[in-house]
Amino acid sequence: MNIDKWGEFTLSSGEKADFFRLGDLRLWLKYKDEEIWIGHQYAGHADSKEALDSPPEDLEWARWAPKEPGNTIKLMPVFPDLPLVVNSEYPLRVNPGASIQIFTRIPVWLRISIGKNDTVLTELPSIKLSRTWFGTPIEGELCFWAITKARRSLSNVERKPHMVSCPIQITNKTEEDLNFDKFCFRVERLKLFVYNEELWSDETRIVYQGEEQYSDINMSGRLPKGMENAKLISPPRKPEHRSLATRTFKMIFDESFLFGK
């Protein structure tokens, strides 16, 4: 089944495995011998329609023996565990003092948990992303490459259950134009909401302070104005601070530079 609803699911018992699909992720779950069995593989692309209700013969299973045996699991979306480098749909120029609203869409990870305390068994990407390095050779951080582009509007973008829409406001506080075609998007402090049966994050506000300065970044904790009645379903990975100062528009190196691949 395609995962388009989030929450608790009751697994079949014995040899029968329940099949789930989210993006490229193909997931089989079963409850056997008082253990949770989890097996997964990835399709060639996200729109593959192959029928995989029965687990492949070469599927590798991981097994968990829970503290309190039971066949109920929870499937919830979470953001990736690294920042993402996002390309804009086209090079953007923000004049001094100007602000723009853009949107990007990020493939979620699937968190599998059990029990009253939501004990996490594992997290799996809905789409496997390549890695890159954001920064300089001596200062920076490991990131994922985003597979989608930042846009001024999402009106013509196909809605998919494994993608979360992220509103971003960028303000140029300098006296020079801000020119960029990619930026580092830090998602670890963002919340996940369901709005009109789609995944959304709270709004990120980036204030550009200059090429050699850190940008001020604030996670608003809520969706943009006009988007009421959203339901919070996943808290941030790092909920302790909603603001930070860090580099957002800088040089990029791919992982072959780092790892010699």
Summarised one tens digit per residue, pLDDT across range 37-58 is 999 999 863 344 455 667 888 8
Q: What is the pLDDT of residue 115?
A: 86
| 8 A C-beta contact, residue 130 and residue 145 | yes
Domain residue spans of the chain: 7-76, 79-108+127-246
For 80-106, the pLDDT digits (tens) are 999 999 998 888 899 999 999 999 999
What is this structure's pTM?
A: 0.87
Instruction: Identify the three-state secondary structure at position 222.
Output: coil
Can you tell me the distance from the alpha carbon of 115 to that of 75, in angstroms, rounded to the nearest whole number? 12
94 strand-pairing partners: 178
Q: What is the pLDDT of residue 247?
A: 73
* Local confidence band at 255 (pLDDT 50, 70, 90 cut-offs): very low
242: left (phi over 0), alpha (psi -120 to 50) or beta: alpha
| 8 A C-beta contact, residue 149 and residue 10 | no
| 8 A C-beta contact, residue 36 and residue 119 | no
Q: Looking at residues 203-221, what average pLDDT do you find?
A: 88
* Local confidence band at 28 (pLDDT 50, 70, 90 cut-offs): very high
Can you tell me the distance from the alpha carbon of 26 to that of 24, in angstroms, rounded to the nearest whole number? 7
Separation in Å, CA 58 to CA 53, 179, 225: 14, 49, 49
Spell out the SS3 assignment of 147-184: EEEEECCCCCCCCCCCEEEEEEEEEECCCCCEEEEEEE
Highest mean pLDDT among 59-63, 113-117, 139-143: 59-63
Q: Is the pLDDT of residue 227 over 70?
A: yes
Sorted by sequence, the CB contacts under 8 Å of residue 69 that are 6+ apart come out as: 34
Higher pLDDT, 241 or 232: 232
